Amino acid sequence: MGRPAHPHAMAPPKPGRTRTAPPQMPSTWWSAPRIRNYLLFDATGIVYYLISFLAIGMVQALGRGPGAWDAVMTRLQHPAYIAFHVLCLVSVVFVAIRFFSLFPKAQPKMIGPLKPPPASLIHVALYVVWFGITAVMTAVLAGVIF
Amino acid sequence: MAEKTIVITRFDPDKDQAPRKQEYKVPCEPDWKVLDAVNFIKDELDGSVSHRWSCRMAVCGSCGMMVNGQPKLTCKTSINDYGDRIDIEPLANFPVVRDLVVELDGFMHKFESVKPWIVRAKEKAADKAALHATKGTYTQSAEQLATFKQFSMCINCMLCYSACPVVANEPEFLGPAAIALGHRYNMDSRDEGKAERNAIFRGEGTVFSCSYANECSEVCPKNVDPAAAVNQAKFEAVIDWAKNLVLPRGGA
């Protein structure tokens, strides 16, 4: 293994009579495919953190007037910003797919007197809602509605 | 028969400052499980190797070890799934008593803390009458049993604790098997101890410490799916919180 876990991980409530070796975890724990997916899932939080600054900057530009807003719009056409937005899109899609795959089994077995719907139906409902909201927002942003 | 190199992590608390590796050449039969190779080493090559095992049929949960970095029930893991070299280590995230034997007290303490037994508010006259009438325990329908049966299949092998990234870093975390078992009793129609268990579940280092890595369910040899139990308990806690917020007396 080779990488120390927390020194008190799974420690007995009272020290035993025998000296024990401290708990360890595999040194390559992060490279196992499933854990890598989990770490990527969590790491997408960094992307949302960064884009929140961009969103705040855009709101501030909106408050400063048309000149500032046009400057921001011009800056967003830079390849770096486009790449960042592609990264955001990939992150959101990845998080949604992983979250949707794990969501059905987190449902309580009974909700009052009712059973939750089958996992396949929950999956379909989640994707329908996701695509529906995306379509409505796209239509709003494109000026098709409102 | 194929010779494989089995590398076992050794630790003798009387001699070793830290765990060390020791290699053994083992002539493996094609139908062997990993446990057979460890038993061969113990019986034929080095009697000082210490490990736990008992039933050899994935029921007792004693023979959990890390095999090539993954927590495995060694009596259920075919030796043919691996190449010429197999690394066998004690379960990750546990203090090591000796060689492949880990300290269980911490696990047992967490296990006990969730009250893994049927709690009745008090013995009722109706319960006693039912007990005498049926000459058995409290009745339960097949449908009621189905709501928690999956979570009662745990064999306490501790592989889920070994796989869990939260257990590795947060000593207070109750862990997957203990929460799954507590949740099993919470869902049992005969039980009345939900409030007591939820007080334990919803404190520090409990269901909300779980980050839903889902590793516990991936490594579970009995398909208990402890991640489902933990997250169902989490979901129920959120529903109760919302009920308490909007309904008088939490909707009770």
Inter-chain touch B218–A34, beta carbons under 8 Å: yes
B228/A106 Cβ within 8 A: yes
Number of domains within chain B: 2
* Among B102, B121, B152, residue at a domain's last position: B102
Domain membership of residue B79 as a residue range: 2-102
Q: How far apart are CA B217 and CA B154, in angstroms?
A: 11
Convert the pLDDT of each residue in B1-11 to its tens digit. 789 999 999 99
State the CATH number of the domain containing residue B153: 1.10.1060.10
Task: Report d(CA B165, CA B186) in Å as an integer.
Answer: 25
Own/partner contacts of A41-48, CB < 8 Å, gap of 24 or more, are: A41/A94, A41/A95, A41/A98, A42/B211, A44/A91, A44/A92, A44/A94, A44/A95, A47/A87, A47/A88, A47/A91, A48/A88, A48/A91
CA gap A121, B77 in Å, rounded: 35
Number of Cβ within a 10 Å radius of residue B72: 25
Would an 8 Å CB–CB cutoff place B3 in contact with chain A? no
Residue tagged 């049966």 (tokens): B149
The residue from B75, B102, B129 where one domain ends is B102
pLDDT of residue A108: 83
C-alpha–C-alpha distance, residues B177 and B208, integer Å: 15
Cβ-based neighbour number of residue A67 at 10 Å: 9
- Residue B10 carries which DSSP code? E
Q: Which of B8, B21, B94, B179 to mutate to test the interface with A (most CBs of A within 10 A)?
A: B94
Q: A2 CB near a chain B CB, below 8 Å?
A: no
Q: Cβ contact (<8 Å) for B168 and A23?
A: yes
Q: Are residues B111 and B230 in the same domain?
A: yes
The three-state secondary structure class of A119 is helix
Q: For residue B174, which of B159, B161, B193 has the smallest C-alpha distance?
A: B161
Burial of B144 (0-12, 13-18, 19+ CB in 10 A): middle
Using an 8 Å Cβ cutoff, are B33 and B78 in contact? yes
Q: What is the pLDDT of residue B248?
A: 74
B56-98 residue pLDDT tens: 999 999 999 999 999 999 999 999 999 999 999 999 999 999 9
A5 touches chain B (CB under 8 A): yes
Residue of B nearest to A2 (CA): B19
Question: Are the C-beta atoms of residues A46 and A53 closer than 8 Å to each other?
Answer: no
**Tokens standing for residue B147:** 């709501």
CA-to-CA distance for A91 and B236, rounded, in angstroms? 28
How many C-beta atoms lie closer than 10 Å to residue A18's C-beta?
Answer: 11
Q: What's the predicted TM-score (pTM) here? A: 0.89
- CA distance linking residue B243 with residue A83, whole number of Å: 44
Q: Which pLDDT does position B138 carry in this prediction?
A: 74
With CB atoms and an 8 Å threshold, state whether B9 touches A22: no
Q: What is the pLDDT along chain A (146 residues), one digit of tens a residue?
A: 678 999 999 999 988 788 999 999 888 777 778 888 899 999 999 999 999 999 999 999 999 999 999 999 999 999 999 999 999 999 999 999 999 999 999 888 877 778 888 999 999 999 999 999 999 999 999 998 87
Q: State the angle between helix axes of B194-201 and B226-246 in degrees (0 to 180), rounded to the nearest 10.
A: 100
Which among A45, A78, A75, A82 has a CA at the least distance from the CA of A58?
A75
Q: Determine the Cα–Cα distance for residues B18 and A81; give it in Å rounded to an integer.
A: 51
Low-confidence ranges of chain B (pLDDT < 70): 122-137, 250-252
* pLDDT reported for residue B71: 95
Q: Answer yes or no: do B85 and B111 share one domain.
A: no
| Nearest CB to A16; choose among B103, B147, B214 | B103
What's the rounded Cα separation, in Å, for the pair A136 and B196?
46
| B66 plus B121 within the same structural domain | no
- Angle (deg, nearest 10), helices B105-113 and B176-186: 20
Domain identity same for B232 and B175:
yes
Distance CA B179, CA B86 (A): 32
* CATH assignment of the domain containing B95: 3.10.20.30
- Class of the CATH-defined domain A31-102: mainly alpha
What is residue B1's predicted lDDT score, i.e. its pLDDT? Answer: 79
B146 and B180 both lie in a single domain: yes
pLDDT of residue B128: 67
Query: Chain A within 8 Å of B151 (Cβ-Cβ)?
Result: no
Interface of B with A in 49-78 (CB under 8 A): 66, 69-70
**Does A109 touch chain B if contact means CB atoms closer than 8 Å?**
yes
How many Cβ atoms are within 10 Å of B28's Cβ, its own excluded?
Answer: 20
Among residues B102, B126, B152, the one where a domain terminates is B102
Three-class DSSP category at B2:
strand
Indicate the pairing of strand B85-89 with strand B70-73.
unpaired
Considering the domain architecture, whether residues B71 and B186 belong to the same structural domain is answered as no
pLDDT score recorded for residue B35:
98
A-contacting residues in B 207-236 (Cβ below 8 Å): 211-215, 218, 225, 227-228, 231-232, 234-236
Enumerate the β-bridge partners of residue A4: A24
